[in-house]
Chains A and B, each alone.
Chain A
């Protein structure tokens, strides 16, 4: 599996660390439903079969966090972008 890094070009997936799905954002801890929102955010997953958007970290390269669109059946990476952007 190879991932196209915006800085380093196409690199072997072994250079990267994955943090899993990039859906949802950290809930507001001050909101009234924070415990429930954090439970969902931290523990529940969509776990899609097919296209999946994930966070990958280029640990052995430019050390950027990337948002990668990858197919979970074919392992094909179709898009990558910097999370910071």
Chain B
């Protein structure tokens, strides 16, 4: 069913009895051309673009739980492309452009809201660094605007401009950045993929990969063996575990990232605001709650829950940026398991096993990458050749020295 004013009117007249489920809950067949493991945003986007852009038929998407139950349902919904490294800038800008036309492409309201992403700066040195990043972005065709204190005061008068330790001197604004509705992204991609014939198979955990003579034969699942000569992994958090079943060690550690939401208040924060003197980012949901987060836990973890010290640290950073946030109560906190790579950048690459493709290492920036990640991963799987915008996201880059270390932290995953 294509959504339009007409279908809406018809449903209203028929007292909403004819709405169909958004996607088919398929049962697994014996074999497929391509199997995608992982029913998050990246996996679903990959399946959709494989079917729509690259003409692959007979695609299965396997999800161990329900689609969108992992990090796709646990993020802070921010979309942006304010990167300085050339390899990142081109890729994330492709993603931003896909976000801008995603609702028309999917015929689904994913609530893309380009309200702006503002990174505030606190010192002359930080202003110079932001100016450099803004100029780099503009050279890559990405919008960026350096604001002075007066302009930031106009946007967000409640920030603590006179903070003794971290006075706010201005900010770098990407006006096209903003938020999208995370669940709707999952549902929109699932519906569109299902309409193109993709089998979305839930409650189908992959237990192992079957390899013969260095080539993929298929996947062992809780619902039996499913054959496929091409398998794509998009299982952030569990990447190392699945790859270990075929003896691959990855440059990845699994950590846990928390997010928080307050009680709902009247419209307050226009877009996304990030603190420059600590790790804190905040936006306001359509229900009015302030959604915010910060650093990962310092240790490796497969538990989808965090500890109190990080919550305290994030809230302290929030208080330093906008003290009135202390008047609000935190309603909920939650956490997801993230793939932390050794340079803070992702992987979309082949593996040493023929027909096994890997997508992961998104650290805590995976949501905004969803459309381009799906597109570039589909390109790699369908043509066995990297997409130009993702050609640098190789697993071998630590061997070749071509690391993409946006923060300059080195091979210490918990510092990215």
How long is the Cα–Cα vector from A13 to B244 in the complex, in angstroms? 29
How long is the Cα–Cα vector from A14 to B241 in the complex, in angstroms? 28
| A39 contacts across to B, CB distance below 8 A | 398-399
- Given contact pairs A20-B413, A39-B398, A74-B303, A45 touches B250 in the complex (Cβ within 8 A): yes
Complex interface residues of chain A between 26 and 42 (CB less than 8 A to chain B): 36, 39-40, 42
Complex interface residues of chain B between 281 and 318 (CB less than 8 A to chain A): 298-303, 307, 309
A45 & B253 in contact (Cβ 8 Å cutoff) = yes
Q: Does A63 contact B (CB under 8 A)?
A: no
A45 & B307 in contact (Cβ 8 Å cutoff) = no
Instruction: Name the residue of chain A whose CB is nearest to the CB of B339.
Output: A47
B398 & A42 in contact (Cβ 8 Å cutoff) = yes
- Given contact pairs A43-B411, A46-B240, A52 touches B300 in the complex (Cβ within 8 A): yes
A44 & B303 in contact (Cβ 8 Å cutoff) = no
Q: Within the complex, which residue of B251, B298, B302, B399 is in contact with A45, where a contact is CB–CB below 8 Å?
A: B251
B398 & A43 in contact (Cβ 8 Å cutoff) = yes
Q: How many residues of A contact B (CB 8 A)?
A: 25
Q: Distance in Å from the Cβ of A4 to the closest Cβ of chain B? A: 16
Instruction: Name the residue of chain B whose CB is nearest to the CB of A12.
Output: B309
| A70 contacts across to B, CB distance below 8 A | 299
How long is the Cα–Cα vector from A5 to B140 in the complex, in angstroms? 51
Instruction: Name the residue of chain A whose CB is nearest to the CB of B310.
Output: A14
Complex interface residues of chain A between 50 and 78 (CB less than 8 A to chain B): 50, 52, 54, 70, 72-75
- Given contact pairs A52-B300, A73-B302, A47 touches B399 in the complex (Cβ within 8 A): no
Q: Does B51 contact A (CB under 8 A)?
A: no
How long is the Cα–Cα vector from A8 to B301 in the complex, in angstroms? 25
| B398 contacts across to A, CB distance below 8 A | 39, 42-43
Q: Does A18 contact B (CB under 8 A)?
A: yes
Q: Distance in Å from the Cβ of A24 to the closest Cβ of chain B? A: 11
Q: Within the complex, which residue of A18, A45, A73 is in contact with B252, where a contact is CB–CB below 8 Å?
A: A45
Q: Does A85 contact B (CB under 8 A)?
A: no
| B241 contacts across to A, CB distance below 8 A | 47, 49
Q: Does B254 contact A (CB under 8 A)?
A: yes
Q: Does B342 contact A (CB under 8 A)?
A: yes
Smallest CB-CB A-B distances: 7 pairs? A47-B240, A43-B398, A44-B249, A43-B251, A49-B302, A18-B299, A43-B342
Binding site for B on A (CB under 8 A): 1, 13-14, 17-18, 20-21, 36, 39-40, 42-47, 49-50, 52, 54, 70, 72-75
18 residue pairs from A and B, CB less than 8 Å apart: A1-B299, A13-B307, A17-B298, A18-B414, A20-B300, A20-B412, A21-B253, A21-B300, A39-B399, A42-B411, A43-B342, A43-B411, A45-B252, A45-B253, A45-B413, A70-B299, A73-B301, A74-B303
